[in-house]
Amino acid sequence: MSELKIVNYPHPALRLKCQPVANIDKDVRLLAGRMLELMHAREGLGLAAPQVAQDARMIVCHFPGPDEESPGQDVIAVNPVIVDTKGKLKDREGCLSFPQLYQDILRYKSVKVQYYDLDGKLNELVSSDLHARIWQHEIDHLNGVLFIDKMGPLARFGSRHDIAKFIKAFEDDVAGGKLPAGTTALL
């Protein structure tokens, strides 16, 4: 497997509707471990496979603990789905594929999620507030939905210059041949 790198908007991998993981094998475990390392190195709370240009329904998340002294919990979720939702909550959100861009996004306050762990065991849990936001954000990535798609008109207007900079940087990378391996197949 080549070097894993987070791709920035408007990389075409970010718009993929990812394929389900059919077999949890050595390659899936290796990808999950590398994604966790990369997420922590970038101080993120979640990372989805398409953000590293991989067509797989898999995410890694870090759920912070209730206080500063709690280390929190890392979760690797294969083929995750949201099966129930409750309430609404608007809060600040960012994305590792949009460095330094933050906006208030309306999400469900609580979600029930089902996913497989790396042992192939089906898990179901209910999360709320920040943890629910992380699940929703990362599962959206698996469907080619980005947090900018969830912005209201004013937030989108306020972010237009930042979004234009991402597009320009991507176009410069394409012109300069600086894209990660496998990218040209997606263009």
Catalytic amino acids?
138
CA distance 129 to 14: 25
Question: Which residues contact residue 99 at a Cβ distance below 8 angstroms, ignoring those fewer than 6 apart?
Answer: 8
Question: Which residues contact residue 173 at a Cβ distance below 8 angstroms, ignoring those fewer than 6 apart?
Answer: 179
Q: How far is CA 71 from each of CA 66, 74, 124, rounded to the nearest angstrom?
A: 9, 9, 22
